[in-house]
Amino acid sequence: MNIAVCVKQVPDTSEVKIDPETGTMRREGVPSILNPFDSYAVEEAIRLKETNGGKVTAVTMGPPQAGDVLRDVVAMGVDEVMLLSDRAFAGADTWATSYTLGLGLKQAGPLDLVICGKQAVDGDTAQVGPGIAENLGIPFVAYVRKIEEIKDGVMRVQRLIEDGYEVVEVKLPAVITVVKEINSPRMPSLKGKMKAKKIEIKTLDAAALGAVPGNIGLAGSPTKVVKVFTPPPKGKREVIEGAPAEQVAKLIDRLSESKII
Amino acid sequence: MGIIVKVDICTGCEACVTECPFGAMEMNGEVATPSEKCTLCGACAEVCPVYAIEITEEQANAPAVDLAAYKGMWVFAEQRGGKVVPVAYELLGEGRRLADALQTELCAVLLGTGLDEEAKALIAAGADKVYLYEDPLLNEFHEDAYADVLAELINGHKPEIVLAGATSIGRAFVPIVASRVRTGLTADCTMLGVDLEKRMLLQTRPAFGGNIMATIVCPGYRPQMATVRPGVMKRAASDPSRKGEIIKSSPASPLTSMTKLLDVIEEAGHTVNLSEAEIIVAGGRGMGDEKGFNLLKELADALGGVMGASRAAVDAGWIPYPHQIGQTGRTVSPKIYFACGISGAIQHLAGMQSSDVIIAINKDASAPIFSVADYGIVGDVFEVLPLLTKAVKERKGRS
């Protein structure tokens, strides 16, 4: 199987701490990591390769330092990597990102399957996976929690929904996004780390992708951010004092006063 | 497009370095310098006390389409098993408010067969028109068929705005539609407004796990599309006497899909939908073990609520993953959220801080959960919870 995974370098949100006084985010010195959801995509791709043969190509779009996450996934067992990097890609929203990644994936050769994490933890949009499917003109299944079987060009998966899951068959090639439940990502192997150090990262710019200038970066992005603000501190932050029985009684009073219960 | 720091004006105060949500502003000597991580969001420009930072837009954002050709506010009325889901009624409530402000019509889009009664209910809830597109394939969700039909309806009728619920269905297929019709889509909005003069939808959403809010617009493309988080908007009141028009259409030949639905499995303990629950009783590491969760279950049952959990409790195996709330689990916004023995890691807060009322019970008075709580009880969950369950039962017994 020829499988591609799309990955993203994001700030490590587990290193982000909330200032308890001001309720704002402390962002100093937050390191960049592989988007945690993408590690499930990478793991699943490597497992499929181990079972069915073939190769795994990882693609990312970002500044040159985003190459770091490509080395991380090579250490896990990814075979080939591709970095889509150009100043003209800066400021891309999900529309332009999907377009650009779609062009990159087309250069990764005929693919059987594209796997993405369900969303990136910095933007949380979950829009790029389906956007890529549209750009490649192939079917899409979101929130996959298990790949049950691949046979005769058809893949059977379990798709997570609000109150359970659905068993869905999809014709390949297809794009899927995966959730945490699907697997436990492996740690990088020593051999993988050696390979990651040496691998040459293939970098493609807008011209190499044949990208239409009006479709990439800020210029190609229909949406614009007009304001970014810290949400006003939520919660009345009333601490209820007293012995446990007293605390409970007071809480019940507060909740009934405001007709909550 | 770009960002300019006027080096002669910058005082090196570092306000922008602290403010930048992406950690993209660095000090280069005494002057702030954006790195390649910059997304041109403009947070730095707003905070700069001496106006030394400018976000430039070389292209003056000439509209890519004839904006005036697009009219009407649309709500995608998602149905499952022939019933329209609650978030669709919430969108009609919000859509009515915005459509009235923009003096335009409010339309619902409904896909599937045998849905005449549901279409009438949408009119009663505020829709002026219902576009009912009938084909048996649409009774179940298929990413490609849903995307094909919604894109076709949008291209045919040219609505100004399209809203959909940020559900597992909405978030899966609406991005395909936006990619195809070449327009902007904002995910998971929690607040909507309109700029009446420019007829722009102001779409506000949390990012970075809810630690920052971003307001997003789509100036040059139509329709303006957004998915909206369930449980956030006020549901429209139903008025059966409201009049509206049901416009039916169907494909020339039966629809087909590249996907096939084989089975739907409702999971035990998961039959109640966390994203639509009004009361959630959630527990974390502080609940000690599986038995601790029995205390939560008793309180949840007494309140008629649903159980939730932090990642720590799920990872410990005390409760299955479908109950997990937070960045790697579900995002919820119930009327009441009880956080019991949950310290309030940022990833957990991301999934629950838009709840109406948050009650935190925790031993550690300095736990971050108290900073988002309306009512905090510093105490032992094993003492407090049984008392609380008893008090709730007594209260219910009286009324």
Contacts of A127 in chain B (CB under 8 A): 171, 175, 178, 185, 187
**Tell me, what DSSP letter sits at residue A230?**
P
Contacts of A163 in chain B (CB under 8 A): 266-267, 270-273
Q: What is the reported pLDDT for B60?
A: 47
Contact B209 A16 (CB under 8 A): yes
Question: Which range has the worst mean pLDDT, A59-63, B229-233, B246-250, B302-306?
Answer: B229-233
Beta bridge partner(s), residue B210: none
Residue A92 and residue A120 in contact, taking contact as beta carbons nearer than 8 Å: no
pLDDT surpasses 80 at A15: no
Q: What is the pLDDT of residues B41-79, one digit of tens each?
A: 888 888 888 888 887 765 545 677 889 999 999 999 999
CB pairs under 8 A between A and B: 309
Question: Which range has the worst mean pLDDT, A65-79, B163-177, B231-245?
Answer: B231-245
pLDDT surpasses 80 at B303: yes
Contact B357 A258 (CB under 8 A): yes
Closest by CA to A163, choosing from B328, B275, B243, is B275
Nearest to A20 among B188, B358, B366 (CB): B366
Q: What is the reported pLDDT for B136?
A: 97
Q: What is the reported pLDDT for A7?
A: 98
- Tokens linked to B3: 């960002």
Contact A247 B384 (CB under 8 A): yes
**3-state class percentages of chain A: helix first, strand second, coil last, to nearest 5:** 35, 30, 35
Distance spanning both ends of chain B, measured CA to CA: 62
Cα gap B131→B143, rounded to integer Å: 19
Mutation pick from B140, B215, B224, B375 vs chain A, by most beta carbons of A within 10 Å, is: B375
Q: What is the pLDDT of residues B174-192, one digit of tens each?
A: 999 999 999 999 999 999 9
- Tokens linked to A169: 């068959």
Which residue in this structure is represented by tokens 């259409």?
A: B249
Mutation pick from A32, A248, A253 vs chain B, by most beta carbons of B within 10 Å, is: A248
Give kind and range of the element (H or E) at residue A170.
strand A164-171
On whether any CB of chain A is under 8 Å from the CB of B255, the answer is no
More confidently predicted of A24 and B141: B141
Residue type at B28?
A: N
Which residue in this structure is represented by tokens 């084989």?
A: B262
Residue A48 and residue A5 in contact, taking contact as beta carbons nearer than 8 Å: no
Q: What is the pLDDT of residues A47-86, one digit of tens each?
A: 999 999 999 999 999 989 899 999 999 999 999 999 999 9
Cα gap A142→B41, rounded to integer Å: 28
**Tell me, what DSSP letter sits at residue B28?**
E
The CA-based diameter of chain A, rounded to the nearest angstrom, is 70
pTM of the model: 0.82
Nearest 5 degrees, angle CA B90-CA A178-CA B176?
55
B191 alpha carbon, distance to own chain's centre = 9
Q: What is the pLDDT of residues A189-228, one digit of tens each?
A: 999 999 999 999 999 999 999 999 999 998 999 998 888 8
Mutation pick from B225, B327, B330, B366 vs chain A, by most beta carbons of A within 10 Å, is: B327
Cα gap A98→A136, rounded to integer Å: 10
Contact B275 A222 (CB under 8 A): no
Q: Which CATH number fits domain B2-56: 3.40.50.2300, 3.90.1280.10, 3.40.50.1820, 3.30.70.20?
A: 3.30.70.20
Contact B221 A222 (CB under 8 A): yes
Residue A56 and residue A78 in contact, taking contact as beta carbons nearer than 8 Å: yes
Residue type at B226?
A: A
Q: What is the reported pLDDT for B1?
A: 60
Contacts of A225 in chain B (CB under 8 A): 39-42, 214-216
Nearest residue on chain B to A247, alpha-carbon basis: B377
Q: CB under 8 Å to A185, separation ≥6 — which residues? A: A39, A40, A42, A43, A76
Question: Which range has the worst mean pLDDT, A79-83, B17-21, B144-148?
Answer: B17-21
Q: How distant, in Å, are the alpha carbons of A183, B20, B35, B285 from that of B57?
A: 44, 19, 18, 49
Length of chain A: 261
Tell me the CATH number for domain B67-249: 3.40.50.620
More confidently predicted of B206 and A214: A214
Contacts of A166 in chain B (CB under 8 A): 141, 261-265
Contacts of B206 in chain A (CB under 8 A): 124, 231
Mutation pick from B3, B53, B171 vs chain A, by most beta carbons of A within 10 Å, is: B171
Judged on CB neighbours under 10 Å (0-12, 13-18, 19+), B338 is: buried
Indicate the average pLDDT of chain B.
Answer: 90
Q: Do domains B67-249 and B274-398 have the same CATH topology?
A: yes
Q: Could you give all domains of chain A from N- to C-terminal order, each with its CATH number?
A: 2-215 (3.40.50.620)
Give the homologous superfamily in CATH for domain B274-398.
TPP-binding domain (3.40.50.1220)
Contacts of B168 in chain A (CB under 8 A): 142-143, 159-162
Cα gap B34→B359, rounded to integer Å: 41
Judged on CB neighbours under 10 Å (0-12, 13-18, 19+), A4 is: buried
* Domain edges within chain B: 2-56, 67-249, 274-398
Residue B299 and residue B281 in contact, taking contact as beta carbons nearer than 8 Å: yes
Cα gap A120→A125, rounded to integer Å: 7
Residue type at B145?
A: A
Closest approach of A161 to chain B, Cα-based (Å): 6
Q: CB under 8 Å to B97, separation ≥6 — which residues? A: none
On whether any CB of chain A is under 8 Å from the CB of B198, the answer is no
Nearest to A236 among B176, B260, B374 (CB): B374
Residue-by-residue DSSP string for A32-97: EEE-HHHHHHHHHHHHHHHHH--EEEEEEESSGGGHHHHHHHHHHT--EEEEE--GGGTT--HHHH
Contact B184 A231 (CB under 8 A): no
Contacts of A27 in chain B (CB under 8 A): 18, 20-21, 23
Residue B270 and residue B322 in contact, taking contact as beta carbons nearer than 8 Å: yes
Nearest to A224 among B176, B207, B219 (CB): B219
Taking phi over 0 as left and psi of -120 to 50 as alpha, with beta for the rest, A161 belongs to beta
Q: What is the reported pLDDT for A24?
A: 57
pLDDT surpasses 70 at A26: no
Residue B280 and residue B340 in contact, taking contact as beta carbons nearer than 8 Å: no
Question: Which range has the worst mean pLDDT, A127-136, A162-171, B137-146, B263-272?
Answer: B263-272
Residue B336 and residue B320 in contact, taking contact as beta carbons nearer than 8 Å: no
Q: What ipTM did this prediction achieve?
A: 0.91
Q: What is the pLDDT of residues A90-121, one digit of tens each?
A: 889 999 999 999 999 999 989 999 999 999 98
- Tokens linked to B286: 């502080």
Residue-by-residue DSSP string for B136-152: GGGGS--HHHHHHHHHH
**Does a cis peptide bond (omega within 30 degrees of 0) precede residue B206?**
no
A168 alpha carbon, distance to own chain's centre = 22
Cα gap B198→B217, rounded to integer Å: 11
Percent of chain A with pLDDT over 90: 74
Closest by CA to B309, choosing from B337, B283, B329, is B283
Average pLDDT over residues A220-238: 82
Cα gap A4→A159, rounded to integer Å: 20
Give kind and range of the element (H or E) at residue A9.
strand A9-11
Contacts of B382 in chain A (CB under 8 A): none
Whole-angstrom Cα Rg for chain A:
22
pLDDT surpasses 70 at B268: no
Average pLDDT over residues B161-169: 96
> Confidence band (pLDDT; 50, 70, 90) for B26?
confident
Q: What is the pLDDT of residues B359-368, one digit of tens each?
A: 999 999 999 9
Contact A227 B366 (CB under 8 A): no
